[in-house]
Amino acid sequence: MMRASTTWLVLLVLLAFAWLGLPAWPADGAPDLQRWMVYLDGLYLSGYLAIGLMSVAMVLALRMPWLERWVGGLDRAYRLHKSLAEWGIGLALFHYGLRLLVKELRGSGLMVKPKGLASQAVEALRPFHGTAKDWAEWALYLAVALVVVALWRRVPYRWFARLHRLLPATYLVMVYHSVVFLPQGYWQGLGWPAAGLIMALMLFGSVAALMSLFGRVGLRRRVAGEVLEVKQLALDVLELRLKLAPGWPGHESGQFGLATFDSREGAHPFTIASSWKGDGELRFAIKALGDYTRNLPTLLKAGDAAWVEGPYGRFVFADGKPRQIWVGGGIGMTPFLARMQELAQLREAASSALPTAEAPALLAQQVDLFYCTRKGDPDITRRITELAAAAGVNLHVLESTTQGQLSVERLMAMSPQWREASLWFCGPARFGQALREGLLAGGLAAGDFHQEAFEFR
């Protein structure tokens, strides 16, 4: 929901500014002139919106901490990045298609360019028109192909990641095209705010594109590490224990890191399955969901080098509610395992008369955890049960093959004080959407439903 509303907000802001620089319609209302002015308005508006949206998308890809806080987590920043990029490239296609359509209409005599109409081109940039047109045309073809690759899930992630690195280059070509063809109306009178905004966006977007091309994104948040243990668990889950070099700032339970075990494969996002103890160690619990994760058990061994970038994410349980309901679907249990470890450590510290300042509030919080799995493994269920007991969490284990799936009605019945709680969900997107719609319809505030949008493609 936030992604859609934010996308529309960015679109409307850009549209309002773009309107300021449109050429004024002459007093002569001849039909040919009217059609031509409609064409120019469509051409300039679509071009302005396209490069503006792509510029914001490029900046969102920088993984900047302040941007992450603003949109509610890196996972949401990437979803918004994807949405804005798709809109931007779609509008660029419309912009290009409109130009081709009018060219064909003029060739067939169905549309006429009025004589004596003042040119909107900036005279000093006319020598660059040829290259700006040709390069942008090929860049658009490539950008569309790369978007198709990104949306086609059959393409392996490693190929998607490698090809996706070409998009910043196509963006820079489109910036060149936009600067050359920005109408002179944007540099005059009321058009100045529009020119200022779009030039600023293209400047920041170009810096982001260059950082991406030269591998500088997230570099300062990247820490070297070593694999200490590779352990294959049941249900196709791999547990990795890593030791990180000094420089890792620590993480909150529920956050994730971008882990690189092979530079050719690139970084993959994995939720951190352990709380931070300050000893440099962290664990990942990785579900075999694709070719890469399925082969990790045979590719990794103790002593292998690793890089971890982060921490990222705002799925950190910080809302101050007296009650929380956690719902973990399959490997979506990972953030809750880290949180339970943290609570268990706080309870242990409190029992030894060494409580932290935050311990009383956290330990007084009532938590219901629903562990939803198709068919559980006795060893994994036992480990979760023991950890929940140590953390003081009320655990509900639901195996869909024998007990059915967790529904909204069932959750309300098993946790009758749900209206006083916040709900934290991590698992299949459709499952989460069904719970969200049902609980919000029942009276839960939208701000009290938290869902990990763990999708980077």
Cβ density class 36-74: b for 16+ within 10 Å, e for less? bbebbeebbbbbbbbbbbbbbbbbbbbbbeebbeebbbb
| 90 & 108 share domain | yes
Domain boundary among 169, 188, 213: 213
pLDDT of 356: 55
Name the pairing type of β-strands 449-451 and 421-426: parallel
Q: Is residue 150 situated within a structural domain? A: yes
What pLDDT does 354 receive?
A: 54
Give a yes or no: residue 144 inside a domain. Answer: yes
In Å, how far are 78, 98, 121, 201 from 172, measured between CA atoms? 20, 22, 21, 12
Asked if the structure places residue 318 within a domain, the reply is no
What whole-number distance in Å separates Cα of residue 199 and Cα of residue 296? 45
Q: Give yes or no: residues 134 and 202 share one domain.
A: yes
Same domain (yes/no): 38, 104: yes
142 and 227 both lie in a single domain: no
Q: Which residues pair with 369 in a beta bridge?
A: 326, 395
Q: State residue 27's pLDDT score.
A: 65
Give me the domain span that covers residue 296: 220-312
Is the domain of 295 the same as that of 357?
A: no
pLDDT of residue 191: 83
335 in the same domain as 286: no
The pLDDT of residue 265:
83
Output the pLDDT for position 346: 87
Same domain, 243 and 186: no
Same structural domain, 146 and 272:
no
pLDDT, position 87: 95
CATH number at residue 8: 1.20.120
- Residue 184, pLDDT score: 87
Q: What pLDDT shows up at residue 357? A: 55
Residue 427 lies in a domain: yes
Q: Which of 252, 278, 312 is a domain's end point?
A: 312
Domain match, 144 and 125 both: yes
What CATH number is associated with residue 274?
2.40.30.10
Judge whether 413 lies within some domain: yes
9 and 53 both lie in a single domain: yes
Ranges of residues in the chain with a pLDDT under 70 are 1-4, 27-29, 352-363, 454-457
* One domain, residues 104 and 199: yes
Question: How many domains, the chain?
Answer: 3
Last residue of a domain, one of 164, 187, 213: 213
Phi and psi torsions of 217, nearest 5°: -70, 125
Q: What is the pTM of this model?
A: 0.88
Q: How far apart are CA 98 and CA 35, in angstroms?
A: 13
